[in-house]
Structure 1
Amino acid sequence: MSRLEAKKPSICRSEPLTGERTRASLAALRGLVTSCYGPAGRLKQLHNGRGGSVVTTSQSAALLAGLPVSHPVLKVLTAAVRNHVACFSDGGLFTAILCCNLVENVQRLGLTPTTVIKLNKHLLSLCTSYLKSEVCACRIPVDFSSTQILLSLVRSILTSKPACMLIAKEVDHISTLILRAFLLTIPENAQEHIILGKSIIVPLKGQRVIDSAVLPGILIEVSEVQLMKILPIKKSDSFKVALFGVSLSGDLSDTGEGTLLVSYGVSLENAALDQLFNLGKQLVSDHVDLVLCQKVIHPSLKQFLRTHHVIAVDRIGVSLMEPLSKVTGAWPIGSLGSISPSSYGSIKDLCIAKFGCKHFFHLIPNKTTICSLLLCNRNDTAWDELKLTCQTALHALQLTIKDPYVLLGGGCTETHLVAYIRHKTHNEPESVLQDERCSQTELQLITDAFCSALESLAGSLEHDGGEILTDSKYGHFWSVQANLPSAVNWPDLLSRCGCGLYSSQEELSWSFLRSVRHPFPPQTCLSCEATGSASTLTLDCFTAK
């Protein structure tokens, strides 16, 4: 998408939201995010105009990160979406589309901002209260004794990101791996307050997706040359580990600020090497088997350790320091002085693993909640998108521990809420009018604008010109191809609703989305059928939505 205008610095300005410039900017953002929404969403290619890589994505996190905006209203909206994604990982496009639709709809009403805000807050509280209630018909409790619902949730997240370029078999494989990785992060003896572990995603680009795997512990990539110098690795009992966060290169870059006084005739290089060798002697005398360094280890120290059968691995990076500390139980050592015995840790075993053309040290822990998800995909672009999607899915699974529910996806929750709100405000307007001190007309206008925003959000799932219908019993979302004949028998054309829960073979009646009809009460209290067919459902993260 080309820039509508050159980027300008932020300025403070007082003008109504109904201005033409504001409307055009909102429409442009809405069109962008709407076109990316859902499994059939269109991909966007982002380039900064000054060189660098091209990002192909349909995810809000990547989309907004590469999309600078200058209009103040858009800055507020995109900041809100980024904050939502930072908290929940999922639902960024959902939030952006709903916000744009709401703002555009209320612009046309001509009501005071106070009235608009007050009534929209009330309708929003109606939605959230209903979704949290026991009678909610679009909420399914998560049964942790079964994997069906959790797998359906992960599968729904994966299939909603077309840039991952996964076929059905690959979606099933990655879904299983993500769920397995999530389960490995849960402590075996979990109490009331659970502290989850971490899943580390290890890249392996250019390989088949089906070659992806989950391993307990940590994988550290090493070169083949480095591996040949270390082999063979044989030990009957556990490995004693020292973890260094300070450089062992022997340079003076880590001495900090200040003046360094050096006596005449003293060689700084030799003094640094002597200190490193003294450190190495202590490691050997303490029977350390494995030295891991975040930064660089001096070649002479490496050779010294190797001759004493100590394995030394450097340049592991800051991102692995915390997981390594948890896996080994070692405290990161931050100086070259004497080492406290309590700083050491241990691992159950150390072995060599080869995946594709890469070699790894596999640190197998005694007992831990850290695992490695070795993630493969065909190319860099597809891998980057898959990594982001896997992180989203893992976070969604973690959120189910706090709120053990999922919502029906495929647009069904949105259309069901529309039916619920319209019926509620039509049949019980007195409580709203009394609490919010507004007129019946104002309530009706805001209700129509709010429900229209939800309907437009559900309609954003259709990108090929098809028609969208809702049934008058459950209020669910149904999609059908475009250019229908004038006389049509809906059960012959429809299969299942958007979430997959209900079949068209039931005795249902349908009408087009946004068509005028009398408000009806959608059926509440989800039947036990939902749990039985959970493996085929399209689901959304409860907390994120």
Structure 2
Amino acid sequence: MANMSGQPIFILAEGTQRTRGRDAQGNNIMAAKAVADAVRTTLGPKGMDKMLVDSMGDVVITNDGATILKEMDIEHPAAKMIVEVAKTQDDEVGDGTTTASILAGELLKKAEDLMDMGIHQTIISSGYREAAKKSADILKTITIDVSEDDTQTLEKIASTAITGKGAESHKEKLAKLTVEAVRAVAEKTDSGIKVDVDDIKIEKRAGGSIRDSELINGIVIDKEKVHPSMPDHVKDAKILLLSQAIELKKTEVDAEIKITSPDQMQMFLDQEEKMIKDMVGKIISSGANVVFCQKGIDDLAQYYLQKEGIYALRRVKTSDLEKLSKATGAKILQDINEISESDLGSAGRVEEKNISGTKMTFVIDCPSPKAVSIVLHGGTEHVVESLDRALHDALRVVGVALEDGQIVAGGGSPEIELSLRLSEYASSLKGREQLAVSKFAEALEVVPKTLAENAGLDPIDTMVEMKSQHEKGNKKAGLDVYTGKVVDMWENNVVEPLRTKTQAINAATEAAVMILRIDDVIASSGRGGGGGGMPEMPEDM
């Protein structure tokens, strides 16, 4: 609202809510901290789980930060920014989502203390950015190199990611599957190793034990053969991938055919049959004995295919066709008339198996697969879903570790080392940025402190012991939450990719800085910025 010559001028729509200055900042920081606190108890191997029930009544039980924040119906705009931090962390690394979220919340909490001291947000932002940049340099001094052939270390990375996600009793088995799968799809390029975990297909099946889970050097398709008389398995498979239907095309415009005699009707049917027979004939002459079709297969075509002993699937998803192409070396063809022998892929065996009451097609023993599958078993649907999330995290972190070739010890040891070194760095700075860097160092302590709290340990005693070990030069000293002792985390097999830490610090810093710089919130009618259990913005006009 503006005021000219005593006449009020309204520039915002009626019902618009506006919050300014410290009120806006206070509301935003409170909302962001509330989100961070919501996932704080899930951090670490001793972290608790959350049960989330959506509007449809579907239940999700997890301690994965990204999943929790995604399932929560959060409306506050500042709170959504913390959700974005977790989402970005999940996309970039796959693990460390809770760490990134609680770090963002703690940075804002420390910023609030500085603002109460009269320090401007711009100075705090500048100090935080400087501290994040320095953190990256400090982290490089405590990294350990890892190579593609070091399967033992890669399995340790996978085990660390799986720990605390409901699969501890079988983490060795899952870690082994993870490393084998990632190494199978890893590609060497001029710029280094590239890993696309989308090339690893996970098929979930409730029933059986986690021990029954297996890696398939090929692709598993959740479909059965189109005709019961087709062979159950095909050895030395020559595979054809089609995105075109094996059936007659319908005309694009309405057409009418007048038939005046039974002979004409028979000729019409004979012609249709001949056209389908010609289509199948082209498939047979190419030498293919297995066909995966993205679209439909006519009943008559199914009959001719099964007569020739050809195994066929229809309505195969585009993503599965692409994975089959990578696994078998086959090209995805759009026109049956263009089939040649060189377009076919190969596999040692294609067979139909009954898995937990569902018939599935296995494409096995591919010569050099660039896409593989993991069949994941668990006692119940919820267990399998939990395993799937744990495996997703493990696959991502192992892939990231291979791409970067650098890892760090876990258990809160990098955060303590960063906190100590940043405190030293802060004392070398001039001006008020020194205070912001010092608070940034304090904020990093939230990770080991939370690990201790979630394990039922005294956080103050733990922090004192960890700092003491690091001051003595033991840079890998972290908290063993099972024994409550401060030990060498490298020897304790707790390791994480370097990118987990750098991404968490950068994402948390950027989100905190963005929230700090907001001093005016204008929300249209009905969007007060509250909701989802978050504080509402009061009217300021």
Query: TM-score, normalized by length of structure 2?
Result: 0.77
Corresponding residue to 1:124 among 129, 132, 139:
132
Contact 2:130 2:437 in 1 (8 A): no
For 1:351-390, what aligned pairs fall within 5 Å after superposition? 351-363=351-363, 364-390=365-391
Contact 2:293 2:314 in 1 (8 A): yes
SS of corresponding position for 1:543: helix
> Separation in 2 of the partners of 1:22 and 1:358?
50
Q: CA deviation at 1:494?
A: 5.6
> Separation in 2 of the partners of 1:98 and 1:116?
16
> Separation in 2 of the partners of 1:203 and 1:177?
14
Q: 1:27 to 1:305 in 2, by over 3 A?
A: same
Corresponding residue to 2:454 among 457, 463, 482:
463
Q: CA deviation at 1:308?
A: 1.6
Alignment-derived partner of residue 114 in structure 2? 109
Alignment-derived partner of residue 398 in structure 2? 397
> Separation in 1 of the partners of 2:274 and 2:63?
55
> Separation in 2 of the partners of 1:413 and 1:376?
35
> Separation in 2 of the partners of 1:295 and 1:61?
35
> Separation in 2 of the partners of 1:339 and 1:144?
38
Letter aligned with residue 401 of structure 1: L
Instruction: Indicate the larger mover: 352-361 or 393-402.
Output: 352-361
Alignment-derived partner of residue 409 in structure 1? 410
Question: Does 2:171 correspond to 1:171?
Answer: yes
Alignment-derived partner of residue 520 in structure 1? none
For 1:91-490, what aligned pairs fall within 5 Å after superposition? 91-110=96-115, 111-132=119-140, 136-137=141-142, 139-161=143-165, 165-168=166-169, 170-186=170-186, 193-194=192-193, 196=195, 198-223=199-224, 229-231=229-231, 233=233, 235=235, 238-248=236-246, 250=248, 252=250, 259-265=253-259, 275-335=275-335, 337=337, 339-363=339-363, 364-426=365-427, 429=428, 432-433=429-430, 439=431, 442-461=432-451, 462-468=453-459, 469=462, 470-474=466-470, 476-478=477-479
Q: CA deviation at 1:233?
A: 4.1
RMSD over aligned CA atoms reads 3.0
SS of corresponding position for 2:282: helix
For 1:28-47, what aligned pairs fall within 5 Å after superposition? 28-47=34-53
SS of corresponding position for 2:114: coil
Instruction: Indicate the larger mover: 464-473 or 288-297.
Output: 464-473
> Separation in 2 of the partners of 1:332 and 1:273?
26
1:420-475, Cα deviation, whole Å (9 max, x unpaired): 1112222xx1xx32xxxxx2xx2443133212211123212222542132232415
Instruction: Indicate the larger mover: 385-394 or 341-350.
Output: 341-350
Q: 1:361 to 1:167 in 2, by over 3 A?
A: same
Contact 1:292 1:316 in 2 (8 A): yes
Q: CA deviation at 1:249?
A: 5.3
Identity of aligned residues (%): 20
Instruction: Indicate the larger mover: 399-408 or 152-161.
Output: 399-408
Letter aligned with residue 151 of structure 1: E
> Separation in 1 of the partners of 2:480 and 2:287?
67
Q: 1:216 to 1:11 in 2, by over 3 A?
A: farther
Letter aligned with residue 150 of structure 2: S
Q: 1:25 to 1:191 in 2, by over 3 A?
A: closer
Alignment-derived partner of residue 74 in structure 1? 79
SS of corresponding position for 2:291: strand
Q: CA deviation at 1:86?
A: 1.6
Alignment-derived partner of residue 64 in structure 2? 59
Alignment-derived partner of residue 544 in structure 1? 500
Instruction: Indicate the larger mover: 96-105 or 345-354.
Output: 345-354
> Separation in 1 of the partners of 2:33 and 2:162?
28
Contact 1:153 1:538 in 2 (8 A): yes
Alignment-derived partner of residue 519 in structure 1? none
1:239-283, Cα deviation, whole Å (9 max, x unpaired): 32221123335574xx7xx63545544999987665433211211
Contact 1:213 1:373 in 2 (8 A): yes
Contact 1:102 1:453 in 2 (8 A): yes
> Separation in 1 of the partners of 2:287 and 2:148?
44
Letter aligned with residue 454 of structure 2: H
> Separation in 2 of the partners of 1:311 and 1:368?
21
Q: CA deviation at 1:298?
A: 2.1
Q: 1:180 to 1:269 in 2, by over 3 A?
A: farther
Contact 1:241 1:290 in 2 (8 A): yes
Higher relative contact order (CA 8 A, sep 6+): 2
Letter aligned with residue 276 of structure 1: I
1:92-128, Cα deviation, whole Å (9 max, x unpaired): 1111111111112102212212101111111111110
For 1:1-16, what aligned pairs fall within 5 Å after superposition? 13=18, 15-16=20-21
> Separation in 2 of the partners of 1:403 and 1:77?
26
Q: CA deviation at 1:232?
A: 5.4
1:138-197, Cα deviation, whole Å (9 max, x unpaired): x22214443222111110100032xxx3243x111111111111222235x877654557
Letter aligned with residue 285 of structure 2: S
Alignment-derived partner of residue 84 in structure 1? 89
1:383-435, Cα deviation, whole Å (9 max, x unpaired): 11211221221121111222111111111111111111112222xx1xx32xx
Letter aligned with residue 146 of structure 1: D
> Separation in 2 of the partners of 1:216 and 1:120?
47
> Separation in 1 of the partners of 2:125 and 2:271?
70
